[in-house]
Structure 1
Amino acid sequence: MVTYGAIGLCCLVFALGPLSGLNPAHGTGDTLLAAQSAYFERWGVIPSELLSGTPSALVTPLTALFVHGNWLHLLGNMLFLYVFGVMAEERMGRVQFALFSVGGGYLALLAYAVAHAGSDETLVGASGGISAVLGAFLFLFPSARVTSLFPFLLFLPLRFPAWIVLVFWFVLQWLAARSAGPGPGVAYLAHVAGFCVGFLYAWGRYRRTDRVRAPASATQGESQP
């Protein structure tokens, strides 16, 4: 399946890269830090360079989808992809799902770059594409129930309809995006853009077909950070 393949590829790229600490070829100390910086600059999105339109920069929204900054970044993204990607892939089909998730991720990173056109900060991660998957999932499976862990509920595992979980997640990303700047940190705006792209794509593609309205259980559980 495409979902499992994407998870495996992201994990492999991270393990072989300088951020995981698992590959001795990248050295240690200052050598490792230099390798990490060069890695981000080569494969990540730099808004000011992307908008310059050079061929190498235009490819970076694709390569950045498979690069993650640390273990927590990787595991969080892969968890969300694992939870919501399987059912979305089954509904869309493998080829369409692959093109959709990559295209959604590209547009999400491009939207962030346009909003922060003068930024030289590097942007990496699959979260833009995964956010597109979440948006599509909301339209396709609004009544599917997922297990969620909410901090303010003492991390108790509770089951909610997908629309409650995903709308809550989207609102948090929107509020965070409004207060966040273009500096280092989480690119919440890319999450918002990706989610909107995914929802609008699913609405346009599947609004004339039957959606899954029964309160079916999602294939996996979900953790809400």
Structure 2
Amino acid sequence: MAVSLLDRLGVRGAGPGGRAPVATLALIALCLLTVLVSPSSGFNPAYGTGPARACAEQRYEQRWGAVPAELTSGRPLDAEQLAALPKATPDCALAPTPGKLPVLSVLSSLFVHAGWLHLLGNVLFLFVFGPGLEERLGRLRFLLLYLTVGYLAAYGYALAETGRPDGLRAVVGASGAIAGVLGGYLRLYPRARVTALVPALLFLPLRLPAWLVLGLWFVLQWWSVRSGGPGVAYLVHVIGFATGYLAVRPAPARRIRWPRPPWQGEAS
């Protein structure tokens, strides 16, 4: 069923081999389950509503997200650093988490998302571009690329932000790893046609080449880094995309071996 659905949507990856993109779908499922059990889902009454839930979301993200200052220091934030953070609500209390391992927080942060819209935006890109890359690399190499790029993007961002105010804020979401998938897809399938919704044309769906869609996406992320767009770690996207593009190598072109004329001897 997954293969048939992907075929109907024009998604590469369900193609000649006929194999379902198990790794891609498993990553999407894990992201979905993580949001369901988090305060961001809105389904768990234990987290409360309104200001109480907003505070619970901030505590949850600080606990399971990747904090740049923690990644570079190797230890969780102390009470003084947490006190310097802007609070979700005036009475929101943030306590240190001594058992937190910063190096593992990168892994957990790849599945934690700040709400349903954040999740939808990420998994949509993964659903469209992940199958093609998984088919070419194989499931194990695809997962290894995904996680490696996610780690490199998180630590690259940490090095850039430590010592700044945003260095104390948790980064959550699979954006860095998925940006790596986009970069790898562009390297392997630059001329593939993908369906894109164009805002300037009232979100009219158009079939455009991947180099145009993903190239414009990268330029937009880079411009957002330069302009200092608030609330989103755009540098994570830039690092992830560039790393994924450089990490994936297209298959070498096949040399055509023409038949040797009978009167010509073997070359030495």
TM-score class, shorter-chain normalisation, is: 0.7 to 0.9
- Do the aligned residues in 1 keep the contact of 2:62 with 2:169 (CA within 8 Å)? no
Match in the other structure for 2:66 = 45
Match in the other structure for 1:201 = 247
Match in the other structure for 1:143 = 191
Paired residue type of 1:5: A
1:110 and 2:155 correspond: yes
Q: For 1:81-100, what per-residue CA distance to the aligned partner results, in whole angstroms no more than 9, with x for missing partners?
A: 00000110011000010111
Match in the other structure for 1:188 = 234
1:176 and 2:224 correspond: yes
Count of matched residue pairs: 206
Paired residue type of 1:16: V
Shift of 1:133: 0.2
SS at match of 1:19: helix
1:18 and 2:34 correspond: no
Shift of 1:110: 1.1
1:71 and 2:116 correspond: yes
Q: Percent identity?
A: 53
Paired residue type of 1:102: L
Match in the other structure for 1:220 = none
Paired residue type of 1:158: L
Shift of 1:26: 2.1
Q: For 1:178-205, what per-residue CA distance to the aligned partner results, in whole angstroms no more than 9, with x for missing partners?
A: 1116xx5111110000000000001xxx
Counterpart CA distance in 1 for 2:251 and 2:29 is 34
Matches for 1:114-129 after TM superposition, within 5 Å: 114-118=159-163, 119-129=167-177
Match in the other structure for 1:98 = 143
SS at match of 2:194: strand
C-alpha distance 5-208 of structure 1, shift in aligned 2 (>3 A): closer
Which piece of structure 1 moves more, 131-140 or 184-193? 184-193
* Higher helix residue share: 1
TM-score calculated relative to the size of structure 1: 0.87
Q: For 1:32-84, what per-residue CA distance to the aligned partner results, in whole angstroms no more than 9, with x for missing partners?
A: 23321210111111111111023711211111000100111000001000000
Counterpart CA distance in 2 for 1:81 and 1:23 is 27
Which piece of structure 1 moves more, 50-59 or 104-113? 50-59
Which piece of structure 1 moves more, 34-43 or 12-21? 34-43
Paired residue type of 2:190: P
Shift of 1:208: 5.0
Match in the other structure for 2:30 = 9
Unaligned runs of 5+ in 1: 212-225
Shift of 1:158: 0.8
Among 57, 79, 83, the alignment partner of 2:102 is 57
Q: Tell me how large the CA RMSD over aligned residues is.
A: 1.6
1:27 and 2:62 correspond: no
